[in-house]
Amino acid sequence: MYDIKRQSSQLEATSGKLKQTKVVLGCVDCDDECTRCQSDSEIKKLEKRCTKLEDSVVFHKERERMFLDDLNSIGSLENDELRWLASVENHYA
Give tens-digit pLDDT for 15-28: 998 888 887 776 66
pLDDT of 62: 92
- 15 Cβ neighbours under 8 A, 6+ residues apart: 50
* Domain limits, the chain: 2-92
User: Which alpha helices (H) appear in 1-93, and where do they start and end?
Assistant: 2-27, 33-74, 79-92
With a cut of 70, which residues of the chain have pLDDT below it?
1, 26-36, 76-93
pLDDT of 35: 67
pLDDT of 78: 57
pLDDT of 77: 55
pLDDT of 6: 86
- Nearest-angstrom CA–CA distance, 66 and 71: 9
pLDDT of 55: 92
